[in-house]
Structure 1
Amino acid sequence: MKFNESDLLQIQDKGLTTEEVERQIAIFERGNIKVDIQEAATIGNGISEISDEQRTKYIKDFEHKKDELDLLKFVPASGAATRMFKALHNFVSDFDPDKEELRDYLDKKGDSSLQLFFNSIENLPFYKDAIEKAKADHDHFDDLSNDAQKKIIAENVLYSKGLGLSDLPKGLVPFHKYDDIVVTAFEEHLYEAAKYADSKGLVKSHFTVGQGDKEKFEAEFNKIKQRVEEKTNLKFEISYSYQDPKTDTIAVDDENAPFRTEEGKMFFRPGGHGALIDNLNQQDADLIFVKNIDNVVTWDNLGDVVDYKKMLAGKLLELRDKTFGLISKLQGNPSDEDLKAASDFLMNQLFVKSLTGSESASELIEKLDRPLRIGGMVKNEGEPGGGPFLVKDEEDEISLQIIEGAQIDEDNPEQVKIVNDSTHFNPVDIVCSVKKPDGNTYDLEKFVDPNMSFVANKTKDGKPLKALERPGLWNGAMAKWNTVFVEVPVTTFNPVKTVADLLKESHQTAE
C-alpha cells in the first residue's frame, strides 16, 4: 500500500503508524471472522442462578469489605441523543398540520413509540419547559390547533431555539422529574453509584465523553453538586476521558482502498465502543462497575438495581480471592490436589471447558492470571442486545463470551438455531477486577481478541463506505478475561433507546 506525503502526515497526526493502517486494511480484505458458538449459556451451564440466601450473603460480604476497597463506576457516555429522537425528527420533517391530522399521520407511520410520545407527552420530564418555550416564541400559541401545538412543542424539544435536547450528549438529557427538579441521566448515575460504589464516604465515577463535551458535563456537575452531596451525604470525585484519536480506524471503499473525502483526504472514523478498553485500561481500582449511560431508574425503583449490583460485587470478590489463592499455591510446590483444585475451579466456576485435566502448574496459572469480570444476564424478553454464549476460539479454547448479532454466521443454520434458542441477553451490567495478585493492574490490551473486529457498511457524504469496528468493549475487548455470568431480574435493566422509553413505569415518578 503506497501512501502519499499528505497521507503520511495525516496518519502521524492521528498517532497511528502506516503499519497499523495497513493492518486495518488487511482486515477489510479478510472480511469478518464469524465466531464459533458451541452452546448458548443457560442456567446451570454458564449462567449461575443465585438463591435469596446466597444473594443476602454476597451483599453482606461486599458491604463488609467495601470500605477497604478502591471502587469506581465506569460509564460510557460519549453517545449523542440524536438517535433517541430519530422518530421525532422524522415527525417534524414530515408532518404538516394544515394538510393532515396527527391521528392519521401516526396511524400511517405505525410507530408505537411515537404514538406513546404524543399520547402521554405531559408526563415527560421536560414537557413543562418545552411548552413554556413554545408559548414564549409564539404569541398566538393558544389559538393554534392541538396538532399544530404538538409540532411546535416537538420542534422546541429538538432544536437549539428551544431546549435543543437532540444536540446534547445523551447523558445530559433530562430523564426524570421530581416535583420541580429535573434530573439528567448523568445525575441519576451519581445517585445510583452512591448506593453501592462509595468507600469511606467517597464516590468515584468515570465518564467517557465525546470531544468537546467534557466542559458540558463539568458545568452540569457544578450546577448539581450541592444537591447531590446533600441528598447522599457523600463526596464525589468525577473524572472524564475521551476516545483516543489513535483508536480511530480507516474507512475503505468497495475496492478496499482508503475512502477519500471530497478534499482527497483519507477518512478515519471512531473505532466503536471497543476503543474504550484503552480508557478502562487507564483506571486504577479494585472493583470497577460498568454500566451504560442510558440505563438508570428513578429513586423509587433503585431497590433491585442496588441489591443485585452489590450481589455481583460480592460474588466477584469471592471468585477473585479463590483465584488469587489458587495462583499462590500453584506458584509454590503444588500437590496433585492443588492442581486438581485449580483445574476444577476453571472448569466448574469459570466454565473454561477446554481443559484436559493434565495441565501443568504454569499452564493453569496462565489461565487463572487474567482480569476477571462478572456479568448480570437477563432473561430474553425481546429486548435488543448481545447474549451470553460458550464460544470456541482459534486455539480450540472454549470460554464464556458476550456475542453481538454482527458476529453471528447467519449462513450457518446450526449457529442461527443456537442463537434463536438462547434464553438470556446482555444488559451491560458488569463488575470487573483488573488487579493482579501483587496489587498491580493488568495491561488490558493484552487480553483483547483482535479477530473480533468487524466490518460494517456506512455512508459519508452520501457515498457508501466500509467501516472497521474494534472488538466491542464487553465482547472482543474482554474476550480473554475470565468470565462469570449470573442471572439478574429484568427490573435491573431500564435503557432509554427512544424518547418514549421515558414514559415507562421505571422512569416515571409519583408527584
Structure 2
Amino acid sequence: MTLRMYTERDLEKIRKHGLSDAEAYRQAELFTRPPVYADLLRPCTPGDGIRQLDEETFDRLVSRGARSMASGRFLKFVPASGRASRMFAALHALRGRRSPPSAEELAEAETCFKSLSKFAFHDELKRAMKRAGLNADKLAAENRYAEIAEHLLGPQGLNYADIPKALISFHQTGEGSRTAFEEHLIEASQVVRAKDGACRLHFTVPHGYLDRFEDLLEETAPKHEKRLGARFEVSFSAQKRSTDTIVVGPDNEPFRPKDDELLFWAGGHGALLENLNALRADILFIKNIDNVVTDRLKESAGRHKLALAGLLLETQEKLFDLLSRIYSKAADQTVIDEAMRYAEKHLLIPRPADWDSLPREAHRTFLIERLDRPIRVCGMVPNAGEPGGGPFWTRGKEGVSMQIVERAQVAPAEEQRALFASATHFNPVDIVCGLKDYLDESFDLERFRDPDAVLVSEKMWEGRPIRILEHPGLWNGGMARWLTLFVEMPAWTFQPVKTLADLLKEGHQG
C-alpha cells in the first residue's frame, strides 16, 4: 500500500465519517501486518490466577459492595447494539433466504416449534399470525415451520430477524412477557440501587433504534419502579461512527461497492471503549444484553455481583493508600517493599528479575506505572463449551499478565490451540470496573488498551470477498493494561441466549 491508495474524494468521505487521514492510513497498514496473536503460557485456574471465595469472605465482600451501592457510586453498562440475526440462524434457512436447512438446523427448528408455547413471545406471535388468518399452534402441530418462521422473523410479523436482541421477549412471568432490556432494568435494582432508590444504567444501542428503546423504557419502567420501589435513571449512546473501519478487498486495497465508493464497517465491541470513556463513571458493572436470569435467581445472582464489587473496592482502598504514599517524595523503602509485596501477592504482578539491583527511584517508577491503572474484577464460570474467550496467563510487551483471550486471538500453532482448549473456565462478561484513580479523577481509558490487538477477518459482501478490521475487543485488547482479578462464579449465573433454543433452558423458564 502507498499513500496514493486513497483518492482526495475518498479522504473527504473518510473525514465526513469522522475518521482522520492518519487513522485511515493506520488501518490500511494494519491489514498488511502479520497477525498479532496472544502468546498463551497457560490457562488461569483456581489457585493460579482465579480466586475462589469461601463463605466468610463472600459474605464480607457482599456487605462491602452493598454499602457502596447504597452510596450511589455504581452504574450498570450494557452493550445492547447487537441484532438477533445469529440467534435465529437455524430458522433463516426455513425462510428460503439461503441454502436448504441442514439436518442440525431442522432439528433445532423442530425443538423450538414443538415447544412454541414455552416462549415468552408466543402470544405476540399468535396475534400477529391471527391477523394473517393463520394459527401458529396448528401450524406447529402440522410441522409447517416455514410459515411460523416467516412471521416470527419477517416484517409482516414480529420482525425479530432485524431488531436488536434487547427488544426480544425473553421471559414469561405472571404479569406478562419481558424483554431482555426489561430484565436488565430489574436486575439493576439488585446491583446498582442507591439509598434513594436510583438505579443508574447505560445502554449502547444501534443507530436508528434509539426511539424504540426510549419508547420501551417509557412503557415498562413505571410498573417495575412501582413494584420494586426503585427509580431508573437510564441513558443511551450509539457506537460512534468515527470508530467504524474501512473495508478492503483481498488485495488490501479499498473495497468499492460501486465506483468511487468506500464501505465502512462497525468496529466491533472494542469500539465501545469510547462510549465507556465518555461516561466518566466511578464503579461500573458490565454485562451482555443476552445474559439475564429469571426472578427466582435474581437475588442470589445480585449477591455474586456485589461480591465482585466488594473485592474491587477492597483492592481500590489498599491501592489508593499505597499510591498516595508512593507518589509522596518522602516515600521510603518500607513503602516500596510493601507495595511490591501487595502487587505480587494480591494483583499477581511478577517482580522484575533485576528488582534487587535497581535503585529506589526505579522501584518507585515501576510501581507507579504498574499500579496507577483502572481495575477490573471479572467473574469466571466453569467451562461448559460455550463459544467465547477465557482467562489465560500471557506474555506481552509488559511481561507476564492475566488476560481474557478469544479464540480469534490464538495462533494456529498446535501448541497454542491446545492451551486454549485446555481452559477450565470461561469469560461470561460479568465484570466490575474501577474507573477512577487515587485522586478521584477519571482515567483516560484509551491509555490502557493494546492498539495492536486488532482482529482481521474475511467475509462476503453481495457475493464478493472482503476483509474487515475490528478494534481490540472491549474486555480483551481494550483492557489489556488494566489491573485484573479473576473470581470463580457459579455456572448458573451465566445464562446466555445465543440461539433460540437457549430460551428453553431451565435458566430461562419458570
Would you say same fold, with TM above 0.5? Answer: yes
Q: Is the 8 A contact 1:75 1:293 kept in 2?
A: yes
- Give, in angstroms, the shift of residue 353 of structure 1: 2.2
Q: Structure 1 residue 257 and structure 2 residue 253: aligned? A: yes
1:401 aligns with 403
SS at match of 2:206: coil
Pick closer, same or farther for the CA change 1:388–1:141 going to 2, 3 Å: closer
Match of 2:194 among 192, 196, 199: 199
Q: Structure 1 residue 92 and structure 2 residue 92: aligned? A: no
Q: Is the 8 A contact 1:354 1:398 kept in 2?
A: no
Q: Is the 8 A contact 2:94 2:101 kept in 1?
A: no
**Range with bigger deviation, 424-433 or 248-257:** 248-257
Matches of 1:12 and 1:330, distance apart in 2? 44
Matches of 1:143 and 1:440, distance apart in 2? 61
2:48 aligns with 45
Q: Structure 1 residue 428 and structure 2 residue 424: aligned? A: no
1:61-72 equivalences in 2 (<5 Å): 61-72=64-75
Q: Is the 8 A contact 1:402 1:475 kept in 2?
A: yes
Q: Deviations over 1:14-40 (max 9, x none)?
A: 111222111111111003111111221
SS at match of 2:161: helix
Pick closer, same or farther for the CA change 1:266–1:107 going to 2, 3 Å: closer
Matches of 2:159 and 2:433, distance apart in 1? 36
Q: Deviations over 1:193-221 (max 9, x none)?
A: 11111112100000001001111100000
1:7 aligns with 10
Matches of 2:42 and 2:364, distance apart in 1? 29
Q: Alignment identity in percent?
A: 40
Q: Structure 1 residue 297 and structure 2 residue 299: aligned? A: no
2:306 aligns with 310
- Give, in angstroms, the shift of residue 63 of structure 1: 1.4
**Range with bigger deviation, 440-449 or 138-147:** 138-147
1:374-393 equivalences in 2 (<5 Å): 374-393=377-396
SS at match of 1:320: helix
Q: Structure 1 residue 153 and structure 2 residue 148: aligned? A: yes
Match of 2:318 among 315, 322, 335: 322
- Give, in angstroms, the shift of residue 146 of structure 1: 3.4
SS at match of 2:142: helix
Q: Is the 8 A contact 2:126 2:136 kept in 1?
A: no
Matches of 1:144 and 1:13, distance apart in 2? 50
Matches of 1:310 and 1:264, distance apart in 2? 53
- Give, in angstroms, the shift of residue 264 of structure 1: 2.7
**Range with bigger deviation, 135-144 or 369-378:** 135-144
Matches of 1:348 and 1:177, distance apart in 2? 46
Q: Deviations over 1:453-508 (max 9, x none)?
A: 12111121211111111000000000011100000011110010111111111111
Aligned residues: 498
Match of 2:333 among 331, 336, 340: 336
Q: Deviations over 1:224-265 (max 9, x none)?
A: 021111121011110011111111111111211111112431
Q: Structure 1 residue 164 and structure 2 residue 159: aligned? A: yes
Root-mean-square deviation over aligned CA pairs: 2.0
Pick closer, same or farther for the CA change 1:111–1:454 going to 2, 3 Å: same
Question: What TM-score, normalized by structure 1, do the two folds share?
Answer: 0.93
SS at match of 1:451: coil
- Give, in angstroms, the shift of residue 385 of structure 1: 1.1
- Give, in angstroms, the shift of residue 297 of structure 1: 1.1
Match of 2:179 among 175, 184, 189: 184
- Give, in angstroms, the shift of residue 68 of structure 1: 2.5
SS at match of 1:28: helix
1:130 aligns with 125
Matches of 1:108 and 1:17, distance apart in 2? 48
Q: Is the 8 A contact 1:117 1:499 kept in 2?
A: yes
Matches of 1:140 and 1:360, distance apart in 2? 73
- Give, in angstroms, the shift of residue 93 of structure 1: 2.1
Pick closer, same or farther for the CA change 1:26–1:53 going to 2, 3 Å: same
Q: Is the 8 A contact 1:134 1:152 kept in 2?
A: no
Pick closer, same or farther for the CA change 1:156–1:63 going to 2, 3 Å: same
Match of 1:232 among 204, 222, 228: 228
Q: Which amino acid aligns with 2:403?
A: Q
- Give, in angstroms, the shift of residue 113 of structure 1: 3.1
Q: Which amino acid aligns with 2:309?
A: A
Pick closer, same or farther for the CA change 1:334–1:94 going to 2, 3 Å: closer
- Give, in angstroms, the shift of residue 348 of structure 1: 1.8
- Give, in angstroms, the shift of residue 285 of structure 1: 2.3
Q: Is the 8 A contact 1:69 1:287 kept in 2?
A: no
Q: Deviations over 1:95-146 (max 9, x none)?
A: 9xxxxxxxxx999346553232123111011112212322331268898783
Q: Structure 1 residue 483 and structure 2 residue 479: aligned? A: no
1:431-470 equivalences in 2 (<5 Å): 431-470=432-471
- Give, in angstroms, the shift of residue 47 of structure 1: 0.6
- Give, in angstroms, the shift of residue 163 of structure 1: 1.6
Q: Is the 8 A contact 1:113 1:498 kept in 2?
A: no
Q: Is the 8 A contact 2:114 2:141 kept in 1?
A: no
Q: Which amino acid aligns with 2:95?
A: V
Q: Deviations over 1:277-297 (max 9, x none)?
A: 000001122210000000001
1:497 aligns with 498
- Give, in angstroms, the shift of residue 69 of structure 1: 4.0
- Give, in angstroms, the shift of residue 148 of structure 1: 5.8
Match of 2:347 among 346, 350, 356: 350
Q: Deviations over 1:322-341 (max 9, x none)?
A: 11011012122223221122
